[in-house]
Structure 1
């Protein structure tokens, strides 16, 4: 009897732990042991010891005594990964300069497990600003960062990214107008859109390209109109500054791009 290559070196306990982590990664409010078992189609008793170990190792925490939620330990481990850490390091001075020039906050996001994940963030230099915390998972489909990460990839990669979102979260219907928008973003080189989450904020996003000219990150400025700040750049000037900073970061990442003056 032939053994399936994928099952030859099975580690059931490891698979069980990974199943729990992947499930909790897509849930904000946590799940009870019974809910975890139901979603994974297993007996609750099968997960007691595994959950206990994940809590003791700091990957999972208990909420209100009976709900389990993912901690930021996995994100911290990911930050130790050299390419991500190096990209964030390269980006820091450019993002600081961008914040000073635009008078706005900005953040850098990469694709991870069906979402855009913020790996670096810079606060606005003045009193007012709109920022997103490092480690936040944001949507691919209704944010500037998500649109840019999808727009500057091949059709095959784009579909794989969307499929991963569907597997890890929920079904979503994307009509032809969504793909048309991605093509338009790729053609003009950036995304400018009203925030779908916060009134009065506009997402200004540009791609950071790697050596193969694929998008490896999205640099986004959540732009808000500043009152009593006549010297602050307007939204058109701000997107130009975002594009320039993204192009400079692309050069540091090894891409052959032309920066605008």
Structure 2
């Protein structure tokens, strides 16, 4: 039987360029031509012209001292210019700035990225210490993360009426909102620790909901806690987050 994949038309140059971009995206530091060639399974000669083209177009930058290549922000700029994303960021960023100022904690905006979720915006408060995530960071869509709970629960058109949208994991707290349908003020909570158990992260997350009831993003406030957060403080953070998510949802027509 003929393999269907062999019937598909190929684009070797495009494949080569995408391989290089993905290799650089997955590297924690710059890579030399030799290192890149090894990662993509090609010779240095095969990737040389492609790297020159990518550098000329502004997708990669070469360190003149070390000869190592790194990604530029060109791909991020392109993604940010995609109309739905641009519209979402314009609506969310001013509200996120107000939220961070009010709760004195960082906040970030995430969107679905296949079976993962990606951070597309982050706002830091005027505070000397805190915990935040990097823009462009990608995480698995697991119940360990508050953002993942919210995005998974609202990835279609919101949870079924009467069903808890939280999908509680073993180490998360009970959803404070209880049951109900898709609502802009839904609150998801995530609670996880590192391997040694010393650092515990608590995160609150709410969906940014469009007119159909589908969540296009999740607005999340994370914090490091070393002891129990007072109930009144947690309540204030949750209320401010719900209000911010509701405002952003309304601004995009939700």
Could you state the TM-score of these two structures normalised by the residue count of structure 1? 0.69
Instruction: Pick from 169, 190, 193 the counterpart of residue 193 of structure 1.
Output: 190
Report deviation, 1:220. 0.8
Hey, what's the Cα distance between the residues in 1 that align with 2:109 and 2:98?
A: 14
Relative to its length, the structure with more helix (as a share) is: 1
Q: What is the Cα deviation at residue 50 of structure 1?
A: 0.6
Aligned to 1:235: 234
Contact 2:87–2:252 at 8 Å: present in 1 too?
no
Are residues 74 and 113 of structure 1, via their aligned partners in 2, closer, same or farther at CA, if it must alter by over 3 Å? farther
2:169 pairs with one of 159, 168, 181: 181
> For 2:42 and 2:11, how far apart are their aligned partners in 1?
17
Query: How far is 1:90 from its partner?
Result: 0.8
Q: How does 1:133-144 map to 2 (within 5 A)?
A: 133=134, 135-140=135-140, 141=142, 142-144=144-146
Please give the residue correspondences for 1:1-261 in structure 2 after superposition, counting only pairs within 5 Å.
7-8=8-9, 10-62=10-62, 65-112=66-113, 115-133=116-134, 135-140=135-140, 141=142, 142-154=144-156, 181=169, 189-194=186-191, 196=193, 199=199, 201-223=201-223, 234-255=233-254
Q: How many residues align?
A: 224
1:72-120 Cα offsets, whole Å, 9 max, x none, are: 2110121122211111111123223322332322121223365433323
Task: Give yes or no for contact 1:60–1:68 (8 Å, CA) kept in 2.
Answer: yes
Structure 1 residue runs without a partner (length 5+): 155-178, 256-261
Distance 2:7 2:97 in 1: 47
1:55–1:61 contact (8 Å) kept in structure 2: yes
TM-score normalised by L of structure 2: 0.71
Once residues 113 and 121 of structure 1 are traced to their aligned partners in structure 2, the CA distance between those partners, rounded to angstroms, is 21
1:208 offset after TM fit, Å?
A: 1.2
Gaps of 5+ in 2: 157-166, 180-185
Instruction: Tell me the distance in 2 between the aligned counterparts of 1:115 and 1:252.
Output: 26
Q: How far apart are the structure 2 equivalents of 1:31 and 1:74?
A: 18
Aligned-residue CA RMSD (Å): 3.7
In the aligned structure 2, how far is the partner of 1:128 from the partner of 1:29? Answer: 26
C-alpha contact (below 8 Å) 1:149/1:217 kept by paired residues: yes
1:248–1:21 distance in 2 versus 1, CA, 3 Å:
same
